[in-house]
A and B are shown apart, each in its own frame.
Chain A
Amino acid sequence: MSSEPTSVTTPLTSAEARLRGVSQEVPPVAAGKRRVSAATVGRQIVLAVFLIYCLLPATWIVTAMTKDNGQIFSTFGLWFAYPFHFLENLSGLVTYQDGIFVRWFGNSLLYAASISIGSTMISALGGYAFSKYDFPAKQFLFNFILGTIMVPSTALVLPLFLMLNKIGLVNNMLGVILPSLVNPFGLYLMKVFWDSSLPNELIEASRLEGASELKIFWRIGMPLMQTGLVTVALLAFVGAWNNFFLPLIVLSEQKLYPLTLGLNVWNSVSSGAGGKPVFNLIAIGSLVSVLPLLIAFVALGKYWRGGLTAGATKG
């Protein structure tokens, strides 16, 4: 085998080829290629098996949403059945129980948007303080806040419920939104992004020109933080959209529920004795409740990847 490793991946430019006197049409290591393809097949089989595994639940959703309830029980769960009931299910979804699903969807949007925007702003301000200023006990405070990520949510939410009960925020949208504004991981990410996005020299120069601290933060700093802001906001949005435990504890009225809780109510009723089963509506509702996140992930792909990398390598 040739001892020129780079020639496998980088084809020679025509100038180089002429200099070295080799023809470009001849692949550098033709014999090596067949060996690689055996490994490639094995690799692709492993990837394909895991791909099928990942898509199993999606397959169930997509097939079940075209069936009526009887078909869901009587036909194979991972394939379609005739006749189709997709449009029926879609209209059922928005009309069942006076269209409560639409309300749940709106609630989820409201919770996720307000939590995402609010917690990102709060984290941006706090992260700026940790990144750009010195104050007593700074390192201790930062480590302490990060350490609280480890407190189990149940440990926090149950006492939180009793507290909210005292101040009258139980069964109130604010009872879900306000506690979710605390985002220690967002604060950490924001500090990391401030460290790398806004050079200290720029702050010093702006101070010399007489800019106030708030103006430096808002007018000079924030425009440089676009990536960081979108990343933290996106992660917070996903977290809030997926939240289950806090609303489960805080909310008692179904019309305040987010999607996750609402679909779970339908499931409990469908699975319980005497309840009208609506598995077809649950299936199509699941798809609808997943769509906004999938769209956000595809549209903002580079941001969540950036967030994960920052979380993983800068630890």
Chain B
Amino acid sequence: MRRYRKTAFLFLTPFLAVFIAFYLAPVGYALYLSLFIRKRIGVGPPKEVFGGLANYIRAVQDTDFLNGLKNMFVFGVVQVPVMLGLAILLALLLQQSRGFFMKICRTAFFMPYGIPTAIGALVWGYLYSANLSPFNQILQAFHQGKIDFLSPAVVLFSIANIVTWTWTGYNMITLFAALQNIPSDLYEAARVDGAKTWDIVRRIQIPLLLPTLQILFIFSVIGTSQLFTEAFVLRPLGYLADNITPNLYLYLTAARDANYGYAGALAILLALLIFAISGPFLRRIASR
């Protein structure tokens, strides 16, 4: 095999080239930038000077950033289980169904995944908007008050709803595919033993879905940590705090405030946090 080492490397070269240039290099650059702080020395524009870990120390004391992280955690703890629970329920129901209606459902449930996040968020934004919302039109027809879906107290749930709408179908289809892989003689054997539908769900289907669920869970957690587009798109339509998600805060720090060093430090802290959360799960999956 030794003589093919060079060939293997040649096959890998294109991937490694773009990977190093556009993946590793930026991370390294972010690390480097994060060590510099802006300082105003005398008169004139502020200068970038070496600050050591000053940006990191500032980040862990930055209540705006920490509140953004808190939003992310609340989101992960509430939205991810709701979405995955819904996906399991729908996958099981679809698996027990036959016929045309089931095929329509399967396609329609999955459809939101194929819609660009920015477009989905835009349209949900109109369904939420104070002037356009059909939900409020219905409420008003019954002489009820309006709901401001984009008010600070509600907007996190409004975003969670968009994410749930987008991804439940994707998760469901994946679970549905895993259900199809369960050998049918398992069901037959269970029926012979007198198992009811609920027994089969609990004792056979859920346990066999667990590996798939773990992967979906990790993908969902990573997705939660990357929340940006929904919040960004909704911003012109209502009042959204700068730190509604950590990524929006990061983006504004860099793009609006042009504080690249601090944005770099925030980015690296965020990445480390995600690694710490999903690393153990990933290792367990890799060891299978």
Partner of A181, one of B22, B27, B30, B254: B22
| Cα separation A43 to B125 with both chains bound (whole Å) | 31
Q: Is A21 an interface residue (CB 8 A)?
A: no
Are A261 and B122 closer than 8 Å at their CB atoms? no
Residues in chain B near residue A53, CB distance under 8 A? 165
Known: A44-B97, A293-B114. A155 touches B270 (CB 8 A): yes
Known pairs A264-B233, A286-B123; A78 contacts B134 (CB<8 A)? yes
Of A22-30, A144-152, A223-231, which binds chain B?
A144-152
Contact B96 A77 (CB under 8 A): no
Q: Confirm or deny: B199 has a beta carbon within 8 angstroms of a beta carbon on chain A.
A: no
Q: Which residue of B lies closest to A57 (CB)?
A: B123
Interface residues of B in 1-58 (CB under 8 A from A): 1, 4-5, 7-9, 11-12, 14-16, 18-19, 21-23, 25-27, 29-30, 33
Report yes or no: B174 in contact with A148, Cβ–Cβ below 8 A: no
Q: Is B63 an interface residue (CB 8 A)?
A: no
Among A83-91, A95-103, A242-250, the stretch in contact with B: A242-250
Q: Is the CB of A155 within 8 A of B267?
A: yes
Assess whether A77 is in contact with B134, with CB atoms less than 8 Å apart: yes
Question: Which residues from 117 to 132 on chain A have a C-beta closer than 8 Å to any C-beta of chain B?
Answer: 121-123, 125-126, 128-130
Query: Do A313 and B165 contact each other (CB < 8 Å), given the known contacts A122-B14, A150-B271?
Result: no
Query: A3 to B264, alpha carbons, bound, how many Å?
Result: 67
Q: Does B146 contact A (CB under 8 A)?
A: no
Q: Which of A72, A73, A150, A282 is packed against the most chain B CB atoms within 10 Å?
A: A150
- Provide the main secondary structure of the chain B interface: helix
| Complex-state Cα separation, A123 to B11, whole angstroms | 10
Asked whether any CB of chain B lies closer than 8 Å to the CB of A46, the reply is yes
- Cα A123 to Cα B232 in complex, Å, equals 31
A202 within 8 A of partner (CB): no
Report the minimal beta-carbon distance from A172 to chain B, rounded to whole angstroms.
Answer: 14
Are A57 and B30 in contact, with the CB atoms below 8 A?
A: no
A-B residue pair count with CB separations less than 8 angstroms: 274
| Interface members, chain B 175-225 (any A CB < 8 Å) | 175, 177-178, 181, 188, 191-192, 197, 211-212, 214-216, 222, 225
Whether A50 contacts B263 by the Cβ 8 Å rule is no
CA distance A242 to B170 in the complex (A): 15
Alpha-carbon distance A74/B20, docked complex (angstroms): 54
Contact B211 A313 (CB under 8 A): yes
Q: Is A163 in contact with B26, judged by CB distance below 8 angstroms?
A: yes
Q: Contacts A77-B127, A309-B174, A311-B215: A5 and B117 contacting too (C-beta < 8 A)?
A: no
Smallest distance from the beta carbon of A279 to chain B beta carbons, Å? 7
Give the chain A neighbours of B285 by CB distance below 8 A.
315
User: Taking each of B25, B30, B118, which has the highest tally of chain A beta carbons within 10 Å of its own beta carbon?
Assistant: B118
* Nearest opposing residue in chain B for A243, CB measure: B116
**A78 to B271 alpha-carbon distance, docked (Å):** 41
A299 at the interface (CB under 8 A from B): no
Interface residues of B, CB < 8 Å — how many? 103
Asked if A60 lies at the interface with its beta carbon under 8 angstroms from chain B, I say yes
Main SS class of interface, A:
helix
A208 within 8 A of B: no
Q: How far is the CA of A163 from the CA of B23 in the complex (A)?
A: 11
Stretch at the interface among B77-85, B104-112, B152-160: B104-112
When A57-B123, A150-B275 are in contact, do A126 and B14 touch as well, CB less than 8 Å?
A: yes
A residues 226-283 in Cβ contact with B at 8 Å: 238, 241-242, 244-245, 248-249, 259-261, 263-264, 267-268, 271-272, 279, 282
Report if A18 contacts B (CB, 8 A).
Answer: no
Q: Check: A284 CB closer than 8 A to any chain B CB.
A: no
Q: Which of A156-203 touch B at CB < 8 Å?
A: 156-163, 178-179, 181-182, 184, 187
- On chain A, the residues within 8 Å of B126 by CB distance are 60, 64, 77, 279
Q: Which residues of A are found within 8 Å of B65, using beta-carbon distances?
A: none
What would be 9 A-B contacts, judged by CB atoms less than 8 Å apart? Answer: A47-B102, A51-B105, A64-B126, A126-B12, A153-B247, A155-B267, A182-B22, A263-B119, A263-B122
Closest 10 pairs between A and B when the two form their complex, measured CB to CB: A77-B134, A126-B15, A133-B8, A155-B267, A129-B11, A159-B30, A5-B191, A179-B22, A159-B26, A260-B118
Residues of chain B touching chain A, judged by Cβ–Cβ distance below 8 Å, are 1, 4-5, 7-9, 11-12, 14-16, 18-19, 21-23, 25-27, 29-30, 33, 86, 89-90, 93-94, 96-97, 101-102, 104-105, 107-112, 114-120, 122-127, 131-134, 137, 165, 169-170, 173-175, 177-178, 181, 188, 191-192, 197, 211-212, 214-216, 222, 225-226, 228-229, 232-233, 236-237, 247, 250-251, 254-255, 260, 263-264, 267-268, 270-271, 274-275, 278, 282, 285-286, 288
Q: Given known contacts A129-B11, A158-B30, what 20 new A-B pairs fall within 8 Å (CB)?
A: A125-B11, A125-B15, A130-B12, A133-B7, A136-B5, A151-B271, A152-B271, A155-B250, A156-B26, A156-B27, A158-B250, A159-B27, A159-B30, A184-B19, A244-B229, A264-B118, A308-B177, A309-B178, A312-B174, A315-B285
